[in-house]
Amino acid sequence: MTELKEIYGYLKELAPLELAEDWDNPGLLVDCGRPVGRVLTCLDITGPVVREAQEKGCDLVVSHHPVIFRPLKALQEGQVPCLLLKAGISAICMHTNLDAAPGGVNDTLAQWMGLREVEPFAEGMGRIGWIEEMSAHQLAQETARILHARVQWADGGKPIRRLALITGSGGSMLEDAIRAGADALLTGEASHHAALDALAAGVTLVAAGHYATEFPVAQTLATRLGDRFRDLEVLVSEMDRDPYHYL
C-alpha cells in the first residue's frame, strides 16, 4: 500500500498547482485518509465511475476534470463527492495545471497526432508543431481515425504543415494559433463564429469533441503512476465515457 500523500506529492510534481488557472479547482478534493493499493484514472468522475472503482477495489480515483468545481453549499445523497466519501475512495483532480504541464493533456494529444518540434503557445496551454503536409480533409480523417471521434472541420483552403492544438474547449484560442503561425487548429469544441473567423483567416479549424481530445490523458496518468509506484495497480476507467450519443 502507498500513502495517499505520496501519490498526491508526485502528481503535484508532474503538474504543479501553480500552473492552474485562477478559476480552477485542482488538487486532492476528496481525502478519505486511506492508504492506496489500486488506482483508477479517468477524465470525469461520474456515478458509474465511482461504482466501477468500488467493484474493482480502488482506493483512489485520479481524474482530469475536478469532481468539485463550483462551491458546494450542501452534500446530498447521490452526489458524486458523497458517493466517494461513502465508498471510502479518495479523489485527486489535475485540471488546467495538467493541461499546461510538460507531458500533460496537450502534450499527450500532440504525441498521438505525431507533432514534431513541439512548442507551447497560448500562454503554455496549447501546443504547436510540424506534421507531414496534408489537406484539411486529410487532417480531419486522421484525427477521426486516431481519436476514434466524430469530427467537424472548417477548411482553410491551403496545405497544412504547422498544426496547433489545444484540448477541450479551445476554439477561443484561434487567434493565438494564428499568431503562432499555425495552418490549422485542432481542438475539442469550437463555436460557429470561430469557424467563420478561421475561414476568413484561411486557417483550418478541426473540432473533434471535448471527450475525444482529453480522454487519452487517462492512459498517460496510469502509465506515469504505474512507473513511479511499483506496488500500485493502476487501471484506466472503462465506464468513463463521452456523455454524447451521435447519429
Q: Are 88 and 34 in contact (CB under 8 A)?
A: yes
Handedness of CA 8, 105, 192, 22 (dihedral sign): positive
Over the stretch 136-182, which tens digit does the pLDDT of each residue have? 999 999 999 999 999 999 999 999 999 999 999 999 999 999 999 99
Q: Which residues of 148-184 are buried (b: 16+ CB within 10 A; e: fewer)?
A: ebebebbbbeeebebbbbbbbebbebbebbbebebbb
pLDDT for residue 225 = 98
* Mean pLDDT (the chain, rounded): 97
Backbone angles phi, psi at 192, to 5 degrees: -55, -45
Q: Are 37 and 2 in contact (CB under 8 A)?
A: yes
Q: Return d(Cα 38, Cα 233) in angstroms, integer.
A: 5
| Triad 130, 114, 157: Cα angle to 5° | 50
Over the stretch 178-216, which tens digit does the pLDDT of each residue have? 999 999 999 999 999 999 999 999 999 999 999 999 999
Q: Return d(Cα 182, Cα 128) in angstroms, integer.
A: 7
Q: Are 226 and 2 in contact (CB under 8 A)?
A: no
Domains located in the chain, CATH noted: 4-95+215-236 (3.40.1390.30), 102-208 (3.40.1390.30)
pLDDT band at 233 (very low <50, low <70, confident <90, very high): very high
Q: Are 122 and 173 in contact (CB under 8 A)?
A: yes
What pTM, to 2 d.p., does this model score?
A: 0.94
